[in-house]
Amino acid sequence: MQYDYISADNHLDLLWMPSRLWQERLPKALRETGPKVVETAEGTYWTWEGRRRGASADGRDNEKHIRRFRKAGAPVADGALPPSDPRYLREHMDLSKIYASVIFGDVRKWNIADRSLLLAVYQAYNDWAVETSATDPDRILILPQLPVAIPEACTPEIERLARKGARGFEFCPFDVASPVNDPLWDPTWRAAAAAATPLCMHIGGAADSALPPARYGARHAFLSTAPFNIANTCAQLVYGAVFERHPTLKVLFGECRIGWVPFFIQWMDRQVVEREPDPTAPLTLMPSEYIRRQVTFAFEEDYIGAKLMAYDWSWLKDVAVWGSDYPHDQGTWPDVSPMVRMFDGIDPATRRAVLFDRAAALFRITGPVAA
């Protein structure tokens, strides 16, 4: 069939993970406190370290969760876990003419007190992610997740998994043991650059953190500003001279939209013009130059950003990439028509770069030529 798109932002939430994944892969000594699925009077849930965590679709509640796929016109069998099943992933991508998907894990990771268990949980997930992606490696890219609460473990994970075929890693900026401008992260940046594996940082929050309550507008306020919560991380990478020291490191910011990005880049440049340089982190380029060279911003539906792509001064035609946000409700799957309308009047070469070619180059996807 004809494929027109690559999605740089799909999801595999804990809800859809196979219930036996960690119980089959963790060392025996860690299985009792490690992630497992239990049936309760309130429904099917994940638990670890003696606490009930998020819901699971792999159990008695399956029909309730797969109903949304059937309503969207995507037939699935009873008991299926579509986002973690390669067969369904391919079928669901085909519905939208999406050739390949870059897949983030749950945007709030595992809040685990035992550091040995925490590392083992990451490693078990990462092995499963690489093995599952290998069933169709040019189309399915489930990002292994770096255990950023344990910085010394990140470089070995990059090197170990890159040898197994990983072509990108998820780096959660909300769980880091130290801010990303700390030089202690240099081995991680160096390893990712050497492996030609982009580090992907998604909007969200700290592990296991809850959304604000729906009271006095707190939840709406949080969600309306969520696209910008990676701005400080990006600024730290630029002004901390991370891109200066590691000129081949690539970073993708997931689901952050792009309409705000031109102002952000312009304002970063202005700080260099108006303020004294930082002698601890000297820069030889303007922030906009580092960003154009090394950073990508993913969006799913952003009419303001799409219109700004027509202007060279916005930088967007050089840094934007599209994602469908499958299977989340606010995304553009399976109906991509809202996204297609955004590109009315946009140069075809820019459209192709944003919807296909940039992601293909970033993640070394060799697939068919986009229409």
Residues 174-203: tens digit of each pLDDT: 999 999 999 999 999 999 999 999 999 999
Mean pLDDT of 326-333: 89
pLDDT at 371 over 70: no
What is the 3 state secondary structure string of 192-222? HHHCCCCEEEECCCCCCCCCCCCCCCHHHHH
Q: Is residue 64 part of a domain?
A: no
Q: How confident is the model at residue 339 (pLDDT cuts 50, 70, 90)?
A: confident
- What average pLDDT does range 6-12 have in this prediction? 97
CA atoms within 13 A on the CB side of 65: 23
In a domain, 162, yes or no: yes
232 part of a folded domain: yes
Which CA distances in Å does 131 have to 116, 128, 288?
23, 5, 37
pTM: 0.96
Average pLDDT over residues 47-71: 95
DSSP character at residue 168: -
Q: Which of 20, 11, 215, 39 is nearest to 108 (CA)?
A: 11
What domain count does the chain have? 1
Task: For residue 96, give the CATH number of its domain.
Answer: 3.20.20.140
State the average pLDDT over residues 35-48. 97
Average pLDDT, the chain: 95
Q: How confident is the model at residue 302 (pLDDT cuts 50, 70, 90)?
A: very high
Measured CA to CA in angstroms, residue 322 lies from 39, 153, 158, 326 at distances of 38, 31, 25, 12
pLDDT score for 324: 95
Mean pLDDT of 53-59: 96
pLDDT of 246 over the 90 cut: yes
- Note down the domain range covering 252: 5-21+82-362
Question: Does residue 77 surpass a pLDDT of 90?
Answer: yes
pLDDT of 253 > 90? The answer is yes
> Within a domain: residue 248?
yes
- Give strand ranges (E) for 78-203: 98-105, 140-142, 169-170, 199-202
Q: Does residue 32 belong to any structural domain of this protein? A: no
Could you read off the pLDDT of 156-174 as tens digits, one per residue?
A: 999 999 999 999 999 999 9
Mean pLDDT value of segment 226-243: 96
- What is the C-alpha to C-alpha distance for residues 107 and 100, in angstroms, rounded to an integer? 20
User: What residue has token string 């070469």?
Assistant: 349
Residue found under tokens 């859809």: 16
Check pLDDT > 90 for residue 369: no
Query: Is residue 68 in some structural domain?
Result: no
Within a domain: 26: no
| 12/370: higher pLDDT | 12
State pLDDT tens for residues 95-129: 999 999 999 999 889 999 999 999 999 999 999 99
At residue 137, does pLDDT exceed 80? Answer: yes
Residues 202-217: pLDDT tens digits? 999 988 888 889 999 9
**Residue 203 token pair:** 């909007």
Q: What's the token pair of residue 370?
A: 């986009």
- Listed in order, strand segments (DSSP E) in 76-138 are 98-105
Backbone angles phi, psi at 251, to 5 degrees: -130, 130
**How far is CA 59 from each of CA 20, 38, 64, 114, 341, rounded to the nearest angstrom?**
11, 8, 10, 27, 39
CA–CA dist 199, 336 (Å, integer): 26
| Domain-embedded: residue 36 | no
Euclidean distance between CA atoms 297 and 221, whole angstroms: 22
